[in-house]
Structure 1
């Protein structure tokens, strides 16, 4: 039900999340520009604006009210997955190869690491390499509990230099 509404607005569905938070249940629908996954677009190029998110939410809310798939009260949020977007499947790892990511593992590496942060390699046969400085970890995608991109700020300005 969500997919056709998102597509009708020229966007593609990235993820859906239903979770309880301090203010109650929240249904989050993450979207990006149509074709972003296929084009392997950067998070910047795939980002959608607030107006598009609002339009999708306006159409999606009454459709969800009619279908009533969630038996309790919740808040609907539609947004871009952001620069620290989650990586959910092998397709995401392929798309963001060369980017910095943080992986939480189900089982520790032989060195005892349960969290690895480094540059992603291209996945091959269900295994992704993660380069962390001098170390390279080969991680089975089945062993990844959670993963997301890591945003890094550019270098700090040199002392005495001011950007205008």
Structure 2
């Protein structure tokens, strides 16, 4: 889920060692088309934080490499950002890390007549995302390989956890920013 296309995957292959050297994780890569293509890279430090300086450091490190290897045909703009508070969930570890928080999942196939599910994450086990769905008695197990897209849902609980992780008082007006 970190990538969607072969071009995204080629950029991920180049970006992973650069990010790892900076103690960062690549969360997602997307190349967006337009007059000038945009290469969007979401990343975070291994402690779950990512500030503007960290984004700039990764961007500078990747810029030279992308210019040198030229995996993108034509002109492009590089955009490096944090995943944000309502972040995408792209790796198995993300589902375990964000256990207890509400998430939306979109599958690549129909399951019981639907592709979209929303509920409280209950972890990750045996290659499956565990999620407690509304009006269901048992925790659903959705194979990770079936998930096309997943992200956290912005809730008061998520905002409180984010503020606490950043050391902000829980009554703070500072309700957006980097993830814990």
What's the TM-score, normalizing by structure 1? 0.74
Contact 1:47–1:82 (Cα < 8 Å) also in 2: no
CA spacing shift, 1:139–1:78, aligned 2, 3 Å: same
Separation in 1, partners of 2:145, 2:99: 17
CA RMSD of aligned residues (A): 2.4
Write out the 4+ residue segments of structure 1 that deviate beyond 4 Å after TM superposition: none
1:90-125 Cα deviation digits (max 9, x unpaired): 222222222211011222332x23211110112222
Q: Secondary structure at the match of 1:114?
A: strand
CA spacing shift, 1:58–1:120, aligned 2, 3 Å: same
Q: What 5-or-longer segments of structure 2 have no aligned partner?
A: 1-13, 158-171, 174-180
Deviation of 1:23 (Å): 4.9
- Aligned match for 1:17, one of 24, 30, 33: 30
Whether 2:30 is the aligned partner of 1:3: answer: no
Whether 2:103 is the aligned partner of 1:126: answer: no
Which residue in 2 is equivalent to 1:54? 56
CA spacing shift, 1:10–1:106, aligned 2, 3 Å: closer
Deviation of 1:8 (Å): 4.1
Q: What 5-or-longer segments of structure 1 have no aligned partner?
A: 37-45, 155-162
Q: Which structure has the larger Rg?
A: 1
Number of aligned residue pairs: give it.
Answer: 144
